[in-house]
Structure 1
């Protein structure tokens, strides 16, 4: 009997000890489990709105602590390449996401765990292939003009080559996201087909003497318009709102050949210990509620087809099937193959 009592005492003591030890994984208040840290690599704009619409509701729902790493596409992708980051979720433009996928830096997603993908526009479902993440937003690359200073209507990419725009235009630098789009429309102006290198460089050499600047930052483009240095330039519609604020006479134009699609993707980094949670986060970001809130706050144009906006809310956004489904999409695999050669030639012959 004494042995039985001693054995029971030992069992109870061990149970108490185990309970106490397991308490180390719980937050101090109320015995709640400590939140799981989820590291997100992103651009860093509109942080307050994203916290309100995206991060904080997800943290509350899934007991998560979100930590962000901020930077541009190139710098953040290089950190992943170097293995100097603990990132779980990686936001990149489609061009950089394709590089990451080809280099084996991304996890293959399980689409069954991200059912909101089925609610997206077709171009947003698999911009870098079925194994990888969707596009959470889409923008368009078209033209901007100062309507007060432009004499004749601008309707086509080729209008930039008109004599009246000499020394009054800016073009994107070859190295930025929209550089390959410039190569594509320049190739057409030069009499070639899609991204024809010879035709593109022929056309760019013709226009080059009249280009004020090959811009790398949207802020530079806005400043050049505002200061009267330029009157026309290709522009991503995401930045047109800033231009309109600085220059009320600015006008956005979709060229008759069509505007180009720019998509930002969300993926999971290879080796993430939080893959299942990361898939829940991606699904959360694609939900109608989050996408609609971000659109109304003018953070992102939605890719979820179920988002409903008024005409006023949709102004300045890439919104609606009639717009999204008519955007031109570059062959990113072809861009990747040609890019280094383009840059080398650009440095020798253009700048």
Structure 2
């Protein structure tokens, strides 16, 4: 009798394990996903779920969402607006995501998504090669630095820079032409547009690059990796904001779990991990700054100072903006 009972219990246990829910999350790869994974077991135990991360960003992430291949999507503000316009996301339910109430007002992206963390794009530079620290985004255009300046290829942060230059010259989100005229000058100073963070680190190590548009957290990472001693400055016009959003995919069969996962991302533990691991400013407004690390800017003043454009105007025109960028800025 005991033998049969043991076998039955083993079978029941195996069946229960096999029925454990799986939540599929599309997230930015590498360090970003690793920062979430570091303590994801806490969420998995509490919700009897296994979280499966799949790399995805931009068009790829939205394609996975439309095909119902994922339950949760991370995005930047440009693709977040595209997803909303295309009806890809569920409305967030505040009753199921009580941590929404703990976030900075600017983090409440829309009823379809929330910003989980903010990054600062500024100017990274090698103090050994520059006589004076850069003070403005205009310094990237200085002819004295020709061939030793870089920025990433076409990405949302370059669109933010494009908008900034447009606004400085009488334009804006609705009129980018003045910005493109300035960006053409920037393109003439760039010998290579970097695509990966390790690539830019190597360019700084070889001293081919003297200054670049880069993330504050990545400058800290580069210095820890070794071979460089870079400095980071927020230009007088302000830091370009990197805002990472999270969304529940419309029609997911795991809607309740997906809402719970969003709530977890806004928990104190998860928010602190973003800061410690990535150098990003948390979206949660009630954290102790002492727990975030000395190089992590924090607070409502920091969040509200970030340069973030009106992406509801920009997102529908991204294909055209990219085409113009490739023709006029990249040489």
TM-score in terms of structure 1 length: 0.83
Query: 2: distance between equivalents of 1:206 and 1:297?
Result: 35
SS at match of 2:51: strand
Residue from 78, 87, 90 that aligns with 1:104: 87
SS at match of 2:53: strand
Residue from 189, 206, 211 that aligns with 2:190: 211
| 1:300 shift after superposition | 4.4
Partner of 1:58: 43
User: Structure 1: which 4+ aligned runs deviate by more than 4 Å?
Assistant: 23-26
Partner of 2:171: 193
Unaligned runs of 5+ in 1: 1-22
Unaligned runs of 5+ in 2: 1-8
CA contact (8 A) 1:146 1:249 kept: yes
Q: Would you say 1:252 and 2:237 are equivalent positions?
A: no
| 1:33 shift after superposition | 8.9
| 1:96 shift after superposition | 1.1
Query: 1: distance between equivalents of 2:56 and 2:118?
Result: 20
Query: 1: distance between equivalents of 2:255 and 2:158?
Result: 33
Q: Which structure is richer in relative contact order (CA contacts within 8 A, separation 6 or more)?
A: 2
Superimposed CA distance per residue, residues 93-148 of structure 1 (whole angstroms, 9 cap, x where no aligned partner): 121111111111111121222111111111111x2x2x212111111111111111
Partner of 2:52: 67
TM-score in terms of structure 2 length: 0.87
| 1:335 shift after superposition | 1.6
Where in structure 2 are the equivalents of 1:160-309 lying within 5 Å? Answer: 160-174=140-154, 176-188=155-167, 191-195=169-173, 196-245=175-224, 246-298=226-278, 300-309=280-289
CA contact (8 A) 2:116 2:282 kept: yes
Query: 1: distance between equivalents of 2:288 and 2:319?
Result: 41
Superimposed CA distance per residue, residues 23-82 of structure 1 (whole angstroms, 9 cap, x where no aligned partner): 9995338x78932211111123245543332x210111111121221233332222333x
Query: 1: distance between equivalents of 2:35 and 2:318?
Result: 35
Change (3 A) 1:343 1:25: farther
Q: Would you say 1:78 and 2:63 are equivalent positions?
A: yes
Equivalenced residue count is 319
Superimposed CA distance per residue, residues 131-190 of structure 1 (whole angstroms, 9 cap, x where no aligned partner): 21211111111111111111123111112222221221012322x23121121233245x
CA contact (8 A) 1:136 1:265 kept: yes
Root-mean-square deviation (CA, aligned residues, Å) is: 2.5
